[in-house]
Chain A
Amino acid sequence: MSGDGIGWRVRTSLVLEALGAVTTVASLVLVVEVCRRLLGDSGGSPAVLVVSAVAVVLFGAAVQFVGRVLSRDAGTRTREALRAGVAFRLRAALPAGALHASWREHGTTLGRDISSVGVMVGRATPEFVSAVLVFVLSIGYLFWVDWLMALVTLLPILLGFGVFGFISVRYAKEMKVDYEANVSALDSARPVLPLGERVGQAGTRASVAARTLRAARELTVQTDRFGEYFRQRIGELLSGRALAEIAFAPLTVLVFVLCGGGLLVQAGWLPAVDLLPFVVVGTGLAAPLLAITYYLEEIGEGKLAATRLGAVIAGTREEPEPIEGLTVPETGVLTVVAADPRDATRVVATTSTQVPADRICVVDVEPAVVLGEISAYIADGRPAEAERCARIARVHDLVAATPKGYESIVDIDVRLSPAESQRLALARALAADSRLVVLDARALPADVLADAVAELAPKTAVLVVTPDTAGVGTGEVRVVVDGHLAESGTHPVSAIAEESR
């Protein structure tokens, strides 16, 4: 994504954010100095310092504004890049099986994930940097003024951290498993639409409506359960968190500053005027800390989302266990007879991983995902070739009957059934310049398959996976039974293939 100008924007925004944090603390230091001058602790006119404070705030505002524009822009660009990446993956020639598997795993969360990564880059990270720096600079300044008083100021904050630590340990020991189980039950209530239903293939609306209705009912049940669990268990834990919030509150810090500072002043260990920084800066120490916990949550979510999105966009294919002795052909037609659908699926998966993704076309048993303009989907920029291949795949009549023909956009101008999508996927495979074309016979009628093989055989290697011997043509034949290569030979196949049915 650095190519989209995101990297330099993020880096520059963080530098500007750091500068903004310095000005925030500096303006408070100037407030303290104005007070000192008013009390005659240091020489000079307070008016100059007041003007300086205003100038510092305005400079900080300008710097922070530029930083935030850059970080917001980076966030928007990140979201756009991710959307384009997912869209590209949905429209690319990834084998449908892998695409559907990836969608089943991550599809429901894609929208939220993209938003989470955008929030992480555009909002949470700069604000986190700002909050951390304001805290560190403030505490550094207070230690510089008086280390003992700084410790007194930090005391409630340390107590708050102690409570947080105690809560975290208790959560990990007593509630983590329960909580995660409840959250998981809640998440499992979400409607998960298969990819075909999500992109609106014809004939899927009834299923989408039924899933949505079921999910809504289930969501109520699971939310009620989660609400009860929250009241009984988590509520108790959050009461503990309230103690930490109280410890971090400016009022609590003020009490510690005045009580501790009063004792130190009375004992003569601290000049009264040195209490000023602790009232002005010290009482604001804890506010960024609470915010930091929220930002960390957002950054954590963003990182997890980025990992999930990365897997979808990269099209990471799970390496299936190879079938010993079964290699993809260099040329010609190889027919693999696999009566068991699990064997057939494994054959497609293993052979698909032996060839780079951009050099293979697969017409899988799982419905192809056809998006965008039909002509571009089949053969981008080659309308004549798109039509020629559509004719071979016997889908030309369908396309020609639509008002916009090959310029029709799927699901806007024309709705396709899964079977029709398969034919378009075949047309795309026919038009592509691939090293290998894998055709699953379960996806196509026998006559269409035979024509496609005849067209493809002279120019590329073809692997046909078929459940029976009915559609086997000329060329090499392999028989796979129970995940093993049972027989190799040339057509006609032996009795093993017949028996494996």
Chain B
Amino acid sequence: MKNVLTSFLRGTDRRALSALSLSLVAGAVLQGIAFALIVPIARALFAPEPRVAWPWIAALVVVAAVQSVLHHRSVPMGNELGAQLVTTVNRTVSQRISQLPAHQLGAARSDRLAALDSSAIVVLMGLPAHVLRPLVAAVVTPMSVIVIAVFAAPAAAMLIAVAWIVSLVLAFAAARMLTATTEPDAAQWLERVRSWPVQPPAGAARRISSIVLPAAGEVLLWRSIELLLCGAMAVSVFVVTDGDPVTAVALILLSALMVRPTTEAALLASTVLNSREVLRNVGELLDGDPGAQQDWPEHDDIEFAEVGLAVGQVPFGFRLAARSCTALLGGSDGIRLTLAELATGNLAPPSGRVLVGGTPIADIAPGEVERNVHWVGPADPTSDELVGLPESEVALRAAQRMRATDSTTLSESDRACFGVLRAFGRAPRLAVVDLTSLHAVDSELDELVAEFARERTCLVLPPADAGAPAYAQRLVVEDLSGKIEARS
């Protein structure tokens, strides 16, 4: 979570943050002063000759009014900071994602990004204005009461300070217990779905850490406040007051009021935990290695250098010449597609390297990869116009037919055709043409792919049972017995 706070502080108006902090602290101090006024008020009210101490009550009203004004003024400041927090955090997340190589942008990161939805954003926005205030008050209000008590009753102040320190230690212990375990997020549990059984049976250790500790934390947070109040009551009765029951009652009332901000903060535990989950998610989104961010090489041949697809597998290698078209044949679709994903940087090999013009593809800036690499497959037509088509008869004829065809009745071959037509507009330097979902390639599509492959480095993946297209070199993948070998 440290990286989230760092990014927030870097992108936030420091003066606004200082102003809000000052306002919250001042409000909490004023609340402490107001609570301390209960002592003279109670002493007058419960004296043997009772009277209502209106001057003290008037002072209380004035302090409360000023505190309320501060509270009211701090809310817009908190809202502004909340909006800044969200926009800063989301911009940082977006920037980080745009710097990451494609192989780090898998489904898990996508899930985490999806979790940054409106609910998460509203939770973050509410942090400075509505959650921070009770948390600050829970710490600062008792502190200010202690400071006041030092001048009025040093012995009482010392005891209150000890109780306050104990309560802080207990609150810290409770917070540790509440955050001792984290539930797997969407990305993590969906990964587990792949292997059966979905969840291992919960062991005793897991139960203790995921159930007993948070439960103990919740109870400790809440009941420690009550126990402290009881302790304060006992001290007031037996130690401090020295036979003065009115002072004892006044101190008990002061203790009861002092714990109120802490109670308020304890009641927000659930909201704080929700905020923590959102911040944890943001923290994970900010993780990742952006790589060396190099430019796309001028000479972009593709080299698989000692690549292994699994641990212990015999490594293999091959080279695809720049501006050449190669058909990947043989093996399973899964293996061919995996090789194509490695070539385009969408997967990182477990061992070995994939180089583009001698540079590891993971080290090329993602923007450069996005501009220069394109995965072409069957696509649904969009309202976008087809642009960048070559002046060749085959492309223009196909485009004309696509425009005339009802988009809801397209076959898989038509969709593939559309995918290739749209790819002309992207003008990639390296392209994969994935035709594995087709049963066969008709002549129109074959000609279109040939036209597309002419000006770039192109990997074509024909349907499983189809042969190599005439315009492409052949690269046959053997993946029997877990051994992969590519031969031209």
Contact = CB atoms under 8 A, between A and B. Distances in A.
Interface of A: 24, 27-28, 31, 34-35, 38-40, 46-47, 50, 53-54, 57-58, 60-61, 64-65, 68-69, 71-73, 76, 79-80, 83-84, 86-87, 90-91, 108-112, 114-115, 118-119, 123-124, 127, 131, 183, 186-187, 190-193, 197-200, 202-203, 205-213, 215-217, 219-220, 223-224, 226-228, 230-231, 234-235, 238-239, 241-243, 245-246, 249-252, 254-255, 258-259, 262, 265-266, 272-273, 275-276, 279-280, 283-284, 287-288, 290-291, 294-295, 298, 301, 340-342, 371-373, 376, 398, 401-403, 409-412, 414-420, 442, 444-446, 467
B93 A212 contact: no
Contacts of A183: 118
A90 B57 contact: no
Given A227-B86, A243-B72, A203 B337 contact: yes
A216 B83 contact: no
Ranked nearest first, the 9 interchain pairs of A and B with the lowest CB-CB distance are A111-B186, A417-B333, A206-B375, A68-B215, A202-B337, A203-B337, A205-B346, A242-B75, A291-B267
A445 B227 CA distance: 75
A31 B194 contact: no
B487 to A, nearest CB: 17
B87 interface: yes
Nearest to B122: A183
Contacts of A279: 38, 42, 253, 256-257
Given A64-B219, A193-B110, A420-B332, A280 B263 contact: no
Contacts of B332: 398, 401, 414, 416-417, 420
Contacts of A208: 105-107, 110, 346
A34 B119 CA distance: 46
Contact of A239 (B76, B230, B233, B246): B76
Of B91, B107, B116, B480, which is in contact with the most chain A CB atoms at under 10 Å from its CB?
B107
Contacts of A131: 267
Nearest to B183: A115
A35 B249 contact: yes
30 contacts: A31-B252, A35-B252, A47-B238, A50-B230, A53-B230, A57-B226, A64-B218, A68-B218, A76-B211, A87-B198, A90-B193, A108-B114, A110-B190, A111-B187, A112-B115, A123-B270, A193-B107, A208-B107, A213-B105, A217-B94, A226-B121, A230-B83, A231-B83, A250-B264, A272-B46, A276-B253, A280-B252, A291-B268, A376-B196, A401-B479
A246 B71 contact: yes
A341 B407 CA distance: 11
Nearest to B30: A251
Contacts of B34: 251, 254
B458 interface: no
Given A64-B219, A249-B71, A250-B260, A203 B90 contact: no
Contact of B341 (A50, A86, A203, A230): A203
Interface of B: 31, 34-35, 38, 41-42, 45-46, 50, 52, 54, 57, 60-61, 64, 67-68, 71-72, 75-76, 79-80, 82-84, 86-87, 90-91, 93-94, 97-98, 102-103, 105-107, 109-111, 113-119, 121, 125, 129-130, 183, 185-187, 189-190, 192-196, 198-199, 202, 207, 210-212, 214-216, 218-219, 222-223, 226-227, 229-230, 233-234, 237-238, 245-246, 248-249, 252-253, 256-257, 260-261, 263-264, 267-268, 270-271, 273-274, 277, 310, 331-335, 337-338, 340-341, 344, 346-347, 366, 370, 375, 377, 408-412, 432, 434, 436-437, 439, 461, 463-465, 479-482
A38 B109 contact: no
Nearest to B71: A246
B327 to A, nearest CB: 16
A254 B212 contact: no
Contacts of B183: 79, 115, 118
A301 B105 contact: no
A109 B67 CA distance: 42
B64 A410 contact: no
A36 to B, nearest CB: 9
Contacts of A272: 45-46, 50
A443 to B, nearest CB: 10
B199 A80 contact: yes
Nearest to A264: B52
A415 B337 contact: yes
Contact of A216 (B98, B253, B261, B377): B98
A409 B337 contact: no
Contacts of A191: 110, 113-114
B110 A112 contact: no
Given A83-B198, A255-B60, A371-B193, 6 more contacts: A76-B202, A191-B113, A213-B98, A220-B90, A243-B72, A250-B264
A245 B434 CA distance: 60
A76 B210 contact: yes
Nearest to A183: B118
Contacts of A190: 113-114, 116-117
Contact of B253 (A266, A280, A288, A417): A280
Given A64-B219, A68-B218, A251-B31, A294 B237 contact: no
Contact of B482 (A84, A213, A402): A402
B309 to A, nearest CB: 9
A401 B481 contact: yes
Contacts of A219: 90, 93-94, 113, 116
Nearest to B206: A76
Contacts of A246: 68, 71-72
Nearest to A221: B94
A72 B436 contact: no
B194 A414 contact: no
Contact of B347 (A84, A114, A205, A372): A205
B64 A275 contact: no
B185 to A, nearest CB: 6
Contact of B437 (A275, A376, A418): A418
A87 B333 contact: no
A231 B79 contact: yes
Nearest to A225: B87
Given A69-B212, A119-B270, A254-B38, A342 B408 contact: yes
Contact of A206 (B114, B261, B341): B341
Contacts of B465: 445
Contacts of A238: 75, 79, 129
Of B187, B218, B340, B366, which is in contact with the most chain A CB atoms at under 10 Å from its CB?
B218
Contacts of B211: 69, 72-73, 76
A266 B52 contact: yes
A294 B268 contact: yes
A393 to B, nearest CB: 13
B233 A50 contact: yes
Contacts of B238: 47
A241 B211 CA distance: 35
A198 B190 contact: yes
A362 B343 CA distance: 35
Contacts of B76: 235, 239
A258 B80 CA distance: 35
B114 A40 contact: no
A467 B334 contact: no
Contacts of A61: 219, 223, 227
Contacts of A241: 75
Contact of A301 (B119, B195, B273): B119
Contact of B409 (A111, A210, A340): A340
Contacts of A416: 332-334
Contact of A31 (B52, B229, B461): B229
B215 A212 contact: no
Nearest to B379: A207
Given A206-B375, A216-B98, A24 B57 contact: no
Given A57-B226, A372-B194, A112 B341 contact: no
A415 to B, nearest CB: 4
